[in-house]
A and B are shown apart, each in its own frame.
Chain A
């Protein structure tokens, strides 16, 4: 397991986010892209029906039950490029909560505004966003306010023009890049002014607490979880 460097640990503590360039590359990235595109196309009609029924938003699209669809989506949950960091930052007590395999169509606005995901009272909550295609500046890239994860940071306001958020940093990146961030921090997806949809995967983790462990959540992929470490990560055993 690759543990964080001293620089990474310091940046995580001070800024609340880390970038892993080329976290996924080569054949593995190609497998991920192929699986993403295949299932995105296959599931799109059902999503459009849910949009028409008022059950889903038209401004982004999550491929459902993705872990059951292709093992590559399970393999990236504990990928060595960042897994050691996740473990270190949670004192080796990590639990995986959910994936969001997300396609964001071009739109004049971002589908979301600036927000933190959880309050400071929540156990440490971490997300890893993996770009499946190249995400250029102005193409819906992830953005974060470094330091906003700290309890004494802010206050921050939900500015209408996303680029007006004081102190924010945008994270364009190549396909296969992964961005890890502390979900106490303020973040968003920037507007996409191009004709290219943004394809990314958001993996959601938390420091383990008894309330979050649900041994039934991932039973459908138990056959992929053959090591004690992975079974623990997916909450299949305590």
Chain B
């Protein structure tokens, strides 16, 4: 059975070969190299993974991602980023996706009316052209929207039913001012247990072109691994979406220190103990394999 980590990040130290943005929390000498990832994947029998761009949206910032995709073409697929101020998102998308292994793009903003009672015309949304291009060229859209944008998604799904959409990290849509970094250098997102996403992203199960990641638990939980306070969210996603539309992921490298890559490969059994064998295999890799069209691996 394929075992696929459907969302993680690798990045190199900032250099002329691999330029990227830096910050106090993301300094130039911080790295999460693909070699470290491969050791963890081998040790825990994870066959393939989705590498999600980090460290900048410009084409040159994607150098390390493209390097990894080229070096391991049957191991990885890639998700790129789009500069928010680009006048020509279509060219940026096409350039990054042309024969590189980049299959889609991550969006953290939708760019429509803030007021849910406002008149809606998707052609006015800031990301409309991105969705349109995704529909034209079969790109996957990888969504981690802000809370204020969550209600806008179904309008785009109605307009572009052919676009494959992956909603990240349990469907959570972070609120303004609720994002921080903990002492272990991990993202933290303060989220109420009665999760507003129950009434937004969880409702997107109606659309068959939408799948959801079971990932990022460390960022939302108020408990230590295995984050049992989030079991109900997992059960609810399973009930709404079914295992064939859920994908397990680790969000490497943020989890390397706590709880570690190995424990996270067991989190689905911990939080959804009543899954059938088939459902378990779907979540651990078969959904990602079919939905994202991972290649068959040529070697061990």
Binding site for B on A (CB under 8 A): 48, 51-60, 105-113, 158, 160-161, 195, 197
Contacts and interface: CB of A to CB of B under 8 A. Distances in A.
B176 interface: yes
Interface in B221-258: 239-240
Contact of B240 (A51, A107, A113): A113
Given A51-B148, A52-B148, A108-B157, 8 more contacts: A51-B147, A53-B147, A55-B196, A56-B196, A58-B151, A59-B200, A109-B203, A113-B203
B174 interface: yes
Contacts of B157: 108
Nearest to B119: A195
A59 B150 CA distance: 9
A112 B117 contact: no
Interface in B54-82: none
Contact of B154 (A53, A108, A161): A108
Nearest to A53: B175
Contacts of A55: 175, 192, 196
A52 B175 contact: yes
Q: Which 9 A-B pairs have the closest CB atoms?
A: A54-B175, A58-B151, A54-B147, A57-B199, A57-B196, A53-B175, A108-B154, A105-B116, A52-B148
7 contacts: A51-B148, A52-B146, A54-B175, A54-B176, A105-B116, A110-B203, A112-B199
Interface string B170-209: 0001111110000000000111100010111001111000
A106 B151 CA distance: 11
Contacts of A59: 116, 151, 199-200, 203
B240 A158 contact: yes
Nearest to B192: A55
Nearest to B120: A106
A158 B300 CA distance: 41
A58 B200 contact: yes
A52 B116 CA distance: 11
Contact of A105 (B117, B158, B173, B206): B117
Contacts, number: 79
Contact of B199 (A106, A108, A111): A111
A54 B240 contact: no
Nearest to B208: A160
A56 B199 CA distance: 9
A139 to B, nearest CB: 15
B95 interface: no
| B151, B192, B204 pick with most chain A CB within 10 angstroms | B151
A55 B146 CA distance: 12
A109 B199 CA distance: 10
A105 B120 CA distance: 12
Contacts of B151: 58-59, 105, 107
B115 interface: yes
B269 interface: no
B239 A158 contact: yes
A190 to B, nearest CB: 13
Nearest to B151: A58
Contacts of A161: 206
Contacts of A197: 117
A58 B189 CA distance: 19
B114 interface: yes
Contact of B158 (A58, A60, A108, A195): A108
B128 to A, nearest CB: 16
B206 A160 contact: yes
Contacts of B204: 109
A130 to B, nearest CB: 21
Contacts of A110: 203
B155 interface: yes
A109 B175 contact: no
Contacts of B154: 107-109
B187 to A, nearest CB: 14
A164 to B, nearest CB: 11
Nearest to B154: A108
Contacts of A48: 114-115
Contacts of A51: 116, 147-148, 196
A226 B147 CA distance: 43
A156 to B, nearest CB: 12
Given A58-B151, A111-B199, A53 B177 contact: yes
